[in-house]
A and B are shown apart, each in its own frame.
Chain A
Amino acid sequence: MADKVKVRIDGEVIAATPDQTILQVARANGKYIPALCYMEGLSAVGACRLCVVEVSGVGRLLPACTTPVQEGLAITTISPQLQAHRKIALELLFAERNHICAVCVSSGNCELQTLAQEHGITHVRYPYNYPTLPIDMTHPRFVLDHNRCILCSRCVRTCAEIEGAHVWEIAGRGIQSRLVSELRRPWGEATTCTSCGKCVQACPTGALTEKGFGVEEMTKKKAVVSRLTSMRGGR
């Protein structure tokens, strides 16, 4: 395998290494591809489908976060088709659960809300699901609000890959999928939780938050979590 490969992103020739994904190469070269489930320093799972890109010769859209680069790939990161697909993905996230920005501690600092605004979403075209979902407030310092969870699994990966505690998991299937702590034990009773709070910082929405914040008051520091991996040399 060659040490370097050349790819074309939006027409620009860029040198990369074969162990990089399209998303990593794009971001390293100042090209913006939106993503929600991807977070620097964590493994990539391709869950949110916001980072889809067009690759010439491939008849379907590919997630940039899980597609490794190859010599000669010609990638398009922005087009009317991609924008349309990203809007659909975002609107379906809003329709699936109860994202009530007006009463959310993360409003104004929420990645989902920001992306909706960036993509010019003025309303959701699909019928809302209005599920009845619990809020777990059993932890002394943190809150899990399932109404705001988009199942990106950044918390799951942060806890498993960085903290090594494996408290979080996604249980159930399809629309019944839920984030669970320690095999469905309430968070406050999870014996493996070290209360480090990194999952809260990694959460893109108001699903995991710290207690004691009012509407629009919670800001997340995901860069701090990402930096831990790079300081450990990517291990």
Chain B
Amino acid sequence: MDKVKIGTCWLDGCSGCHMSLLDMDEDIVAVLEKAEIVFGPLVDAQEWPEGVDVAVIEGAVSSQDDLKLARTARARSKLVVALGDCAVTGNVPSMRNGIPVRRLLERVYVEGATAEPGVPTDGVPSLLKRAEPLHAAIKVDLHVPGCPPKPDAIKQVLGDLLEGREPDIESRLRFG
């Protein structure tokens, strides 16, 4: 039987949710017996492949690149999981939403800079007006909140999905 294809990505977040995924310790071996990770910070692929079964997405949608990757992941994956508070609620990245983008960038990169003040434009994606939860940008099938979600919660969700069960999130629900 073909292995289930999992793609992961990290938008506007701190990578803590990916750390929590790794924090499953040896249980990740059991996951990898049934699934393979075909895209994400943990593997080497350059582009989100076609035919992914489960997309696991960390982070808020905050920049043009985030939006593009989220849309690609959605288009090429059967099921999308929003992993962690940033993807589910906007969380800490959304704390900038009350500040106009230009004002925000100037405050940080001009007023806040001690050397070479200036808003960077080369090689960085432009910010969206707001950092939004994933479901504001694409259709999300499953929300797993937590900052980060506990390894047990991720294990439960992935385990349920791989067994073909509807994931039991409510018993492990937790924000923050």
**Which of A70-78, A125-133, A172-180, A193-201 touches B?**
A125-133
A124 near B175: Cβ-Cβ < 8 Å:
no
A120 near B170: Cβ-Cβ < 8 Å:
yes
Contact with B95, one of A98, A121, A124, A127 (Cβ below 8 angstroms): A98
A232 at the A/B interface (Cβ < 8 Å)? no
B174 at the A/B interface (Cβ < 8 Å)? yes
A18 at the A/B interface (Cβ < 8 Å)? no
A104 near B174: Cβ-Cβ < 8 Å:
no
A122 near B173: Cβ-Cβ < 8 Å:
yes
B130 at the A/B interface (Cβ < 8 Å)? yes
A68 at the A/B interface (Cβ < 8 Å)? no
Q: Interface digits, B135-146 against A, CB 8 Å rule (1 contact, 0 not)?
A: 110001011110
B98 near A132: Cβ-Cβ < 8 Å:
yes
The A99-118 residues at the B interface (CB cut-off 8 A) are: 100-104, 107-108, 113, 116-117
B169 near A128: Cβ-Cβ < 8 Å:
no
A98 near B94: Cβ-Cβ < 8 Å:
yes
B89 at the A/B interface (Cβ < 8 Å)? yes
The DSSP consensus for interface residues of chain A is: loop
In Å, the complex CA distance between A130 and B173 comes to 23
- Please judge, given known A-B contacts A122-B88, A130-B98, A130-B130, whether A101 and B136 are in contact too, CB under 8 Å: no
- Please judge, given known A-B contacts A117-B174, A132-B98, whether A122 and B90 are in contact too, CB under 8 Å: no
B92 at the A/B interface (Cβ < 8 Å)? yes
In Å, the complex CA distance between A107 and B135 comes to 23
Return B167 CB to nearest CB of chain A, in Å.
Answer: 10
- Please judge, given known A-B contacts A107-B176, A123-B135, A130-B130, whether A100 and B143 are in contact too, CB under 8 Å: no
Q: Interface digits, B143-176 against A, CB 8 Å rule (1 contact, 0 not)?
A: 1110100000000000000000000011001111
- Please judge, given known A-B contacts A100-B95, A132-B98, whether A120 and B82 are in contact too, CB under 8 Å: no
B91 at the A/B interface (Cβ < 8 Å)? yes
Which chain B positions have C-beta within 8 A of A121? Answer: 173
Chain A residue with minimal CB distance to B147?
A102
- Please judge, given known A-B contacts A123-B89, A123-B143, whether A128 and B176 are in contact too, CB under 8 Å: no
A130 near B88: Cβ-Cβ < 8 Å:
no
Chain A residue with minimal CB distance to B93?
A100
Task: Name which of B89, B90, B132 has the most chain A CB atoms within 10 A of its CB.
Answer: B89
Which chain A positions have C-beta within 8 A of B66? Answer: none
Which chain A positions have C-beta within 8 A of B169? Answer: 122
Besides A123-B140, A131-B98, 20 other A-B contacts (C-beta < 8 A): A100-B94, A100-B95, A101-B147, A102-B92, A102-B147, A102-B175, A113-B176, A117-B173, A117-B175, A122-B144, A123-B88, A123-B145, A124-B133, A128-B90, A128-B97, A128-B132, A130-B130, A133-B98, A215-B176, A216-B176
Give me 18 A-to-B residue pairs in the complex whose CB atoms sit less than 8 angstroms apart, sorted by A's number: A98-B95, A98-B98, A102-B85, A102-B91, A102-B175, A103-B92, A104-B176, A117-B173, A117-B174, A120-B170, A120-B173, A122-B145, A122-B173, A123-B89, A124-B89, A130-B94, A130-B130, A132-B99
Q: Which residues of B contact A (CB under 8 A)?
A: 82, 85, 88-92, 94-95, 97-99, 130, 132-133, 135-136, 140, 142-145, 147, 169-170, 173-176
